[in-house]
Structure 1
Amino acid sequence: METVDQVRQPGVFSHVRRSVRMTVGQQRVWETRWPELGRKLAELPPGELDLAAWFGRSAPVVLEIGSGMGEATAQLAQAAPEVNHLAAEVYPAGLGQLMLAVEKHELTNVRLLHGDALDFLRDHVTPGSLDGVRIFFPDPWQKKRHHKRRLVTGPFVGLVASRLRPGGTLHLATDWADYADQMLAVCSAEPLLTNQYERWAPRPSWRPLTKFESRAHAEGRDCRDLLFTRA
């Protein structure tokens, strides 16, 4: 079995590198709200991060990997104020947009991580501390020669499972059939995880409809959800 230290494979990141310019509003909240709401992975001290201290309370923590522009994160945080929502994203514009939503809706249960979530999980998250991990519509790396760059691999899923508490959940969603099959295979092979369904989970009504899912429907692709529980 591959170890946590082996999870970083060449070319595998929890994001795709691209440049996104921030708006005036996004830049403003970066300057005014980031010290309160955010942390940069590169600036975290070595060791495990005290999530309860960061949020200012002890509550279940759900990590969303690749929160994009934050529309789903903000809606989920509004719907579940009793949960601490941690959004990991590498694009400042996306985090800025989420901070605008946090400000607009006066959310107190959202924190933001700027950096690669894989390294964050490995180096700064206490084993057995997360109540949930969500990965909605990760980059599919459609070309076969690029499949090795996909995030959801056996070593990565093993790392996620080790950070979940017993009973914690890993929720995946994708609109690419071959990636869904890969997700199902690697999650099913992880001994710490159990599929809550025989194969695909019904689309939960509480999961917000994102632009990626809307585009998939418009292009005729089915979206599949997977919901696994840590033993």
Structure 2
Amino acid sequence: MGGWEPDEAFLQSGSVNDTPAMPQSSPTTAPPEGVAYPKTIKSYVTRAGRTTTGQAKALQEWGPLYVLPFRPEPLDLDATFQRDPGHPAPTILEIGFGMGDATAHIAALMPEKNFIGCEVHEPGVGALLKHIGERGLTNLRIVQHDAVEVLDQMLQPGSLAGVHIFFPDPWHKKRHHKRRLIQPDFVRKLTGFLRPLGADGKPGGYLHCATDWQPYAEQMLAVLSAEPALRNTATDYAPRPAYRPETKFERRGLRLGHGVWDLVFERV
């Protein structure tokens, strides 16, 4: 998920994410005493960051082609991706793609599928647009908006073949656990947008989460396992699917003995 490099002490103490910011959840500071955050689900946290010259150029050059404006109306996916309506392509949504390295890698591996990435962080949007331009990725679009509103207003129930959520902010402190993205209400919402299991045996849509923080992995496993419309594709944690690349910080963390947990559940 760019230019920030964690030092060894940071890697020993916590995350191996390749982004310095907290990708998706609620605000980064605790509310004032006696003031509660709204209960509305949010998929991101606003964060600071400098847009580089290359990212700004990509935003200007490629943004008009590949960034979809947020509109409160359902997307025509075939028209958006210029697909033949007689042969619709599966669509994968990624929530919080950071700097977009994994997003671009996966889209390049699967040109037959549509990919929509939601990210509010402008440097990340610029970085992914740079990948799109350099690699000629015509099967990838970006919405620079809260993924919850994108789901509710731009996508149809049952329209997604998959959802990717890689290394969301683990909110390490116990009092902040309520800010974690993977919560029962949000998972229930996501599940409704996954393609259901077909009567012909065609598999339902899948939800793929990954984290480098074991307590969050355990919460993810519990929350996803409790959703009756999902089934685990593994006994507990799944092997890392071949399409998800290891990030450089993930590799450094693994060398230091840190774990990474993937969870892949399917809609039933």
CA distance, structure 2, for counterparts of residue 199 and residue 23 of structure 1: 41
Q: Which residue of 1 aligns with 2:53?
A: 24
Larger gyration radius, structure 1 or structure 2: 2
Higher normalized strand content (fraction of residues): 1
Structure 1 residue 138, shift from structure 2 partner: 0.4
Deviations 1:78-97 (CA, angstroms, capped at 9, x unpaired): 11111111111111110111
The 5 A counterparts of 1:181-220 are 181-220=218-257
Residue 76 of structure 1 aligns to a residue whose secondary structure is: helix
Q: Is contact 1:170-1:227 (8 Å) kept? A: yes
How far is 1:215 from its partner?
A: 4.7
Segments of 5+ residues of structure 2 without an aligned counterpart are 1-36, 197-203
Greater CA drift, 205-214 or 152-161: 205-214
Taking only the aligned residue pairs, the percentage that are identical comes to 48
> 2:158 & 2:178 partners in 1: Cα distance?
28
Deviation at 1:61, TM superposition (A): 0.4
Deviations 1:39-94 (A, max 9, x none): 243xx1x2322222211113110011111101001111111111111111111110
Do 1:12 and 1:148's aligned partners in 2 also have CA atoms closer than 8 Å? no
Quick check: 2:41–2:186 contact (8 Å CA) kept in 1? Answer: no
Could you tell me whether the CA contact under 8 Å between 2:165 and 2:209 is conserved in 1?
yes
Partners of 2:218 and 2:265 in 1: CA distance: 14
Q: Which residue of 2 aligns with 1:33?
A: 62
Question: Secondary structure at the residue paired with 1:182?
Answer: helix
Distance 2:174 2:46 in 1: 19
Alignment match of 2:166 (pick from 118, 130, 136):
136
Find the counterpart in structure 1 of residue 82 from structure 2: 56
CA distance in 2, matches of 1:230, 1:130: 11
Q: Which residue of 2 is the match for residue 3 of structure 1? A: none
Find the partner of 1:47 among 63, 70, 73: 73
In structure 1, what residue type is equivalent to 2:81?
F
Aligned with residue 168 of structure 1, among 199, 205, 216: 205
Gaps of at least 5 residues in structure 1 are 1-7
Q: CA RMSD in A?
A: 1.7
Aligned to 1:225: 262
Shift of the alpha carbon at 1:211? 3.9
* SS of alignment partner, residue 68 of structure 2: strand
- Which moved further from structure 2: 131-140 or 214-223? 214-223
Work out the CA distance in 2 between the residues paired with 1:175 and 1:9: 28
Query: Are residues 211 and 15 of structure 1, via their aligned partners in 2, closer, same or farther at CA, if it must alter by over 3 Å?
Result: farther
Aligned in 2, Cα 1:209/1:160: closer, same or farther, shift over 3 Å? same
Instruction: Give the direction of change, closer, same or farther, for the CA distance of 1:17–1:212 in structure 2 (3 Å limit).
Output: farther
Partner of 2:132: 102
TM-score, length of structure 1 as denominator length? 0.90
Distance 1:50 1:185, change over 3 A: same
TM-score normalized by the length of structure 2: 0.78
Query: Any runs of at least 4 consecutive aligned residues in structure 1 with deviations exceeding 4 A, and if so which?
Result: none
Indicate conservation of the 8 Å contact 1:201/1:227, yes or no.
yes
CA offset at residue 111 of structure 1? 0.4
- Aligned partner of residue 245 in structure 2, secondary structure: coil
